[in-house]
Amino acid sequence: MSQSANTQTGDRIYIQQLQSDTAGEALCHLKNEHSIFISLRPRPIHYVQKQDGKLHTALYQKGEILITPADVPLSVRWEGEEDCLEIRLADEFLKDVARETLPQDCDRLTLQPTFQIRNPQLESIGSMLLAEYQNQLSGNSLCVDSLANLLAIQLLREHTTTNPHLAVYEGGLPQHQLRQVIDYIEASLNQDIKLADLAGLIDISQFHFSRLFKQSLGLSPHRYLLQQRLEKAKQLLQKTDRLIIDIALECGFNNHSHLSKQFKQMTGVTPKVFRASQR
């Protein structure tokens, strides 16, 4: 079996793409991590899976999901070519998110072993995480942190042994706190900003910060940061003759191609063409 696009963000989340061109089998027993497997193969693949004493045999279609809680042994056999996404989420991180968002005792909260489900939200989060790592982008912790929190919330909301009620906060951030966060982002565009950095400025949880920030500006923290980086790049392209690679680094992009890809998605043209059109 080959692996690609694997990485780890602190001690919270780990992701890898598992691929095999032959039939095979695997055993997995993660003491302190929950695992989510999402099938990526366009054609259905036959699996025999066993977890928590239960056996499941089925054809998995693209997008179907297997969830294995921490400290639950999992055995898998597959026939033919395999292509799946594995996401591991630290149990302590999941409990931290639960403590920040749930009113009840969270230490007893556990995930349910789950075979072959459809969950469009989990599938979408998985696709975005895989895209981040396939692009091998560094300096994008804010996006990955946000996705890890969304993943944890989705698991807590739909795949625990109870049905917890997650508190909802309305109205956005107070203006003085919003200004504090915006000023910090503006002064740190070339830095690897983390969600914890922003939430820590105003001493609230990362989950609540993300929700309130989006209510305030209509954009997630990650999208707002990207927007501000691109706006600064536009200004430098218009007003200076600096090399595009230097502009990319000053605006928080890790190379010329990273800036070009994001810039073209926003404006429809590359930085070079944009600069020429402004002269």
- pLDDT digits 0-9 by tens, 15-27: 999 999 899 999 9
pLDDT at 106 over 70: no
**Are 112 and 57 a contacting pair, CB within 8 Å?**
no
> Does residue 69 sit within a domain?
yes
Q: What is the pLDDT of residue 163?
A: 61
Same domain, 39 and 11: yes
3-state secondary structure of 241: coil
Q: Give the end of a domain, one of 85, 105, 136.
A: 136
Q: What is the pLDDT of residue 5?
A: 47
pLDDT at 247 over 90: yes
Q: Give the end of a domain, one of 86, 105, 136.
A: 136
Look up the domain containing 23 and give its range.
2-136
Residue scoring higher pLDDT (155 or 110): 155
> Does residue 9 sit within a domain?
yes
pLDDT at 65 over 90: yes
Same domain, 28 and 106: yes
169-208 as b/e, with b when 16 or more CB fall inside 10 Å?
Answer: eeebbeeebbeebbeebeeebeeebbbebbbeebebbbbb
Query: Length of the chain in residues, anyone?
Result: 279
Residue located via tokens 């690897």: 192
Q: What is the pTM of this model?
A: 0.76
> Does residue 164 sit within a domain?
no
Same domain, 67 and 25: yes
**Are 86 and 151 a contacting pair, CB within 8 Å?**
no
**Are 117 and 67 a contacting pair, CB within 8 Å?**
yes
Range scoring the smallest mean pLDDT among 131-135, 144-148, 258-262: 131-135
Q: Span 97-109, mean pLDDT?
A: 72
User: CATH number for the domain including 241?
Assistant: 1.10.10.60
3-state secondary structure of 102: coil
Beta bridge partners of residue 3, listed in sequence order? 18
- pLDDT digits 0-9 by tens, 156-196: 888 887 665 555 556 788 888 998 999 999 999 999 898 98
Helix (H) or strand (E) holding 197: helix 195-201
Total count of domains within the chain = 3
